[in-house]
Amino acid sequence: MTAPALSPRLSTLWQPASDCGDRCRPGGERRSGPVRVAVRVTALVGVLLLGVLPAALLRGAAVGMLSRAILAALGIRLVWRGPLPRPGSLLVANHVSWLDPVALAAVLPVRVVAKHDVRSWPGVGWASERIGSLFIDRNRPRSLPGTVAEVAASLRAGRSVALFPEGTTFCGPDRGRFRPALFQAAIDAGARVVPVSVGYDSPEASFLGEETLGESVLRVARVRELTLTLVAAPALRPETTADRRVLARAAQSSLAGGGYHLAA
C-alpha cells in the first residue's frame, strides 16, 4: 500500500527551505593566498584522517579535540560568550554553516541533532553516527515521536543535545522560524533550554543550499581571518505543562544576534 502524500502544510513543516544565494556574499573580503589555502586544506585533511577514528571510538573528550582541531586547521578563531550550559541541557541555535555543530562540540560535550541525509554522506555519516549524533527524518513525520523520545532520554541521562530548530541554514539577516517539535523533549525531560546565537564576521562562512560541502570548505579556507562567535543566553526552565510552541518562540526571541554580521 502506498503511503499517503504529505499535505502542502506538512511538507513545508518538514522541508524548510532558505532562499540564501550569492546575494548573501557582498564581496570585498580579504582573501588568503593560494599557499595558505593549500596549507589549510591539507591540515584539515590530516586532522580528519588522524582524528575521526579516535573520536568515533573514544567519543567524549576526543570529539571536542577533533572539533577544535578542525577549526584550527581552517584558521578559525572561536569565541564563547555567556555562561556554560549545565550537562543535560538542550542547546538551540540559529543555523548558518556546517561549522555550527563543530563549534558547539568544540566548546561542550554535546550530541547534535542532524538531518537524516547526513547518514548517507561518505565518511561523515559513519563518523556522525559513531560519535553519538541523533538523526531526524523530515520525510517521515511519523518517526518524530521516536526522535523526541530519544532526545529526551539523552537529556535525562545528563547528556546535552544541540539542535538547530530552523531546519536549514540561513545567511545574513535572514532567519527561519524555530520549529517547535523537538522542544517537547526538554519539557518531557524537565531539562533547561539554552538559546545560543551563532555568528560569523564574514559572509563566506554561510553554507548556501546549492553548493557542495567541498565548495564551502574551500571558500572558508580562502578567508584571511574568520571569527566564529557563540553567545549563550540565560537558560529557560520549562514547566512540565509548558507549550512547546511558546517555548520555541521564547528561545528564538532570546537570541543575541547571529548570522554573519555579529562582531567578534
- Per residue in 150-178, pLDDT (tens digit) is 999 999 999 999 999 998 888 755 678 89
In a domain, 131, yes or no: yes
| Host domain of residue 125 | 79-206+226-253
Residue 85 inside a domain? The answer is yes
Whether residue 84 is contained in a domain is answered as yes
Residue 214 forms part of a structural domain = no
Kindly report, residue by residue over 66-123, the tens digit of the pLDDT.
Answer: 999 999 999 999 999 999 999 999 999 999 999 999 999 999 999 999 887 777 766 6
Cβ count near 46 (within 10 Å): 12
Residue 140 lies in a domain: yes
Q: Is residue 42 part of a domain?
A: no
For the ranges 105-119, 211-225, 236-250, the one whose mean pLDDT is highest:
236-250
Q: Looking at the 3D structure of the chain, how many domains does it have?
A: 1
Which residue matches cell numbers 557582498?
Answer: 26
| For the chain, the helix, strand and coil percentages under 3-state DSSP, each to the nearest 5 | 45, 15, 40
Please check whether residue 45 lies inside any domain of the structure: no
Nearest to 133 by CA among 142, 122, 145, 124: 124
C-alpha pair distances (Å), 120 with each of 17, 52, 146: 20, 17, 20
Q: What is the CATH number of the domain that holds 169?
A: 3.40.1010.10
